[in-house]
Amino acid sequence: MSDTLDHISPQEIVARLSGSPEERAALIREGAEVGVAEAQAVYGQMLLDAGDAPTGFTWFNKAAAQGHLMALNMVGRCYDLGWGVAVNKPRAAECFRIAATRGLDWGMYNYATALALGDGVAEDKAAALSWFEKAAATGNAKAVNYIGSFHEDGWVVPRNIAKAADCYARAAEGGDFRGQFNHARMLAERGEIEAARDWLARCGKTATPAFAAKARLWLRNSHWPELERALP
């Protein structure tokens, strides 16, 4: 990993990574402190998850300065959501744009979202769709779900419910909770209530509390209010 870690054998690294959480964290921190970009990015995420967003932001920047694309994307996320730094939507969009143009699917997804919403950049739904399609081509399920929204709502492309339903089904299978909810909606529309119930249950396992609350409200006011109970 570096001269400082040369004394650690590959076997010891494997053992420490498969050991206790404390051993893994210590090894990752050690790697981060001696300049390993991947370790810096992982350490930044660990700090963010632990509630120390400002220090996590610092480590993301260190990794991004070495060309680590996911770290650059996370710098963008920090600016986008105010994690450890003041919200700066234009700077967030620029981080996403650079990560996207360098081939990171999450950079593509986040930049496309910014373009679709006009969030930190001028709204450009046509460009947004193009970036969502690039992200989807890498297997990004969230991008596939967003493409479904374009076809359902007729943004840029002609409204096509069948294509939207196909996108939602693929996003659902890919594990995106929004895709799972949208797939369940489409199934309910076709009268496949039990299948819709199953997908709503899956959605509830990974959905954010905010999304789950919105989904329950939507179901409560839908033609199938009983499906609200399917969300855990």
**Per-residue pLDDT reduced to its tens digit, 88-134:** 999 999 999 999 999 999 999 999 999 999 999 999 999 999 999 99
Q: Is the pLDDT of residue 52 over 90?
A: yes
**Amino acid, single-letter form, for residue 131:** W
| Confidence band for 3, pLDDT divided at 50, 70 and 90 | very low
| Confidence band for 9, pLDDT divided at 50, 70 and 90 | low
The tokens describing 179, both together, are: 């895709």
**Per-residue pLDDT reduced to its tens digit, 194-213:** 999 999 999 999 999 999 99
pLDDT > 90 in the chain, percent: 86
Using an 8 Å Cβ cutoff, are 66 and 86 in contact? no
Mean pLDDT value across the chain? 93
C-alpha to C-alpha distance for 125 and 45, rounded to whole angstroms: 31
The tokens describing 52, both together, are: 């120390």
| Confidence band for 76, pLDDT divided at 50, 70 and 90 | very high
- What is the rounded average pLDDT of the residues 58-85? 97
Using alpha carbons, list the distances in angstroms from residue 192 to 148, 187, 196, 199. 19, 5, 6, 11
